[in-house]
Amino acid sequence: MRIYPLKFRPILKERLWGGTKLEKVLQKPIVSDITGESWELSAVSGDVSVVSNGELANTSLRTLIDRFPEALLGKSVVERFGKEFPILIKFIDAKQDLSIQLHPNDELAKKRHNSFGKTEMWYVMDADAGAELIVGFNKNVTKEQYSKSLEDDSLLELLNYETVNKGDTFFINTGKIHAIGAGVLLAEIQQTSDVTYRVFDFNRKDKNGNLRELHTEMALDAIDYEKKDDFKVRYDRTLDATNSMVDSPYFKTNFLNLTTDFIQDTASRDSFTIYMAVDGVADLKTNEGSARINKGETVLVPAMANRIHIETNGVQLLEVTI
């Protein structure tokens, strides 16, 4: 079977800090006013994406990978990851501040959780005036200073705050302490992993009146305690061109700001291509079929496609490959 560009049903997640922007801005079919995440493309156990368009509708991503591993993923991706889908794609709406957290690296995640680590990037799609992210420390700290800040409730004084606007992009490597602030709607691209070490949650209680679990001890050996300025992604926004944003061992992301039709040659890519529409609308066409992508939607183009014809009068896309 020749595999056409695939769309998937969003997997919607209620979160203590969630809101309604996923519906109001991205037209997601939420059923709760605390919806925090829309998992767009996932092979995480228990949350596997299911195709929503064309003759493969109702087929799970796992089934597709089992049936067409190289055609869907690319030979080099299969050689590296086997039949594991290495990327998790989300939209996140933070009505309230998220917990302050970090993620372990591959080695530690494998040892403790039999999982990949969680390197991720954020693209800000919408931000209330003055909205902030927490990314890293504002000075070098020691493990002892960090531990003392938890004891005396002064952790927030050690953290680096970044005021954000639409289009701002951040690369969050493993070990970096971080949090998405209230009023931010963003696209998240990450390694396939759901391993998070929560270290502070503003003493909030869940709907049952319980404090959420913290992972204080596990986080101690996973944190990067150095102050670093390596997180803000600076990228070109040249019209009708492929602009590199992130080029990491885990994923590569480009920014496409298209005003007219565009052809992306993927013959030598040997990887699937993911498109996230962060504004506008386009039709993505290959020899095997087509899919329309609207703002807030995600499309997976199989590795077997040698070129992708993007028809549009105006669209902004995040393009993700391995």
Active-site positions read 198
> 10 Å Cβ neighbour count for 248?
12
C-alpha dihedral (242, 53, 83, 309), degrees to nearest 10: -20
> 10 Å Cβ neighbour count for 83?
13
CA-to-CA separations, 141 to 40, 55, 100, 178, 223, in angstroms, rounded: 37, 55, 16, 15, 11
Report the relative pairing of strands 159-163 and 100-102 from DSSP bridges.
unpaired
Residues 6+ apart with CB under 8 A from 41: 8, 49, 61, 85, 87, 88, 89, 274, 298, 300
Q: What are phi and psi of 80, to 5 degrees?
A: -85, -40
C-alpha 221/C-alpha 156 separation (Å) is: 20
Residues 254-267: b if buried by 16+ CB within 10 A, e if exposed = bbbbbeeebebebe
Report the relative pairing of strands 159-163 and 132-137 from DSSP bridges.
antiparallel
Q: Where are the alpha helices (DSSP H) in 156-260?
A: 216-220
How far is C-alpha 52 from the geometric centre of its chain's CA atoms? 20
Residue type present at position 65: I
